[in-house]
């Protein structure tokens, strides 16, 4: 097990789950399910210390917030979905927007 879920503590394998990073603060978190991002954020978002350790080609995520489309500056949250060997990155202007996005179902939201 590479990580533990920052919300429920369950082990999260490298080929599964979600990793969140705040590169400017050298902070990270892990989640077993997207649904655990929202309660984690609203109970205080307890980050762990840690650097961005995803493949460098992901960079620091897309240039705009996936939730509100704001252009991102130095402070950004990057959320990386692990699915087998695939890595899919989204980025957010704040932890709150990551949580709102996660709550509404992420990339697969219906509306």
Contacting positions for Zn ion (CB under 5 A): 5, 7-8, 32, 36, 65, 67-68, 70, 93, 97
State in angstroms the smallest separation of the CB of 27 from Zn ion.
18
Check if the beta carbon of residue 90 is closer than 8 Å to that of residue 66.
yes
Residue whose CB is less far from Zn ion, 65 or 79 = 65
Instruction: Give the start-end residues of each E strand in 5-75.
Output: 11-12, 18-22, 27-31, 48-49
| Cα-based distances in Å from 39 to 8, 52, 68, 78 | 10, 23, 20, 18
State in angstroms the smallest separation of the CB of 22 from Zn ion.
14
Residue whose CB is less far from Zn ion, 1 or 56 = 1
Residue whose CB is less far from Zn ion, 23 or 57 = 23
State in angstroms the smallest separation of the CB of 85 from Zn ion.
22
């Amino acid at each position: 097990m590479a990580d533990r879920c920052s919300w429920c503590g369950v082990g999260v394998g490298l080929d599964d789950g979600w990793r969140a990073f705040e590169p400017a603060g050298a902070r990270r978190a892990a989640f077993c399910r997207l649904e655990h991002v929202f309660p984690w954020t609203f109970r205080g978002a307890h980050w762990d210390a840690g650097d961005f350790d995803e493949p460098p080609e992901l960079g620091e995520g897309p240039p705009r917030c996936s939730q509100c489309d704001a252009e991102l500056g130095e402070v950004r949250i990057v959320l990386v979905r692990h699915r087998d060997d695939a890595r899919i990155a989204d980025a957010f202007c704040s932890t709150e927007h990551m949580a709102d996005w996660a709550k509404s179902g992420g990339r697969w939201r219906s509306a």
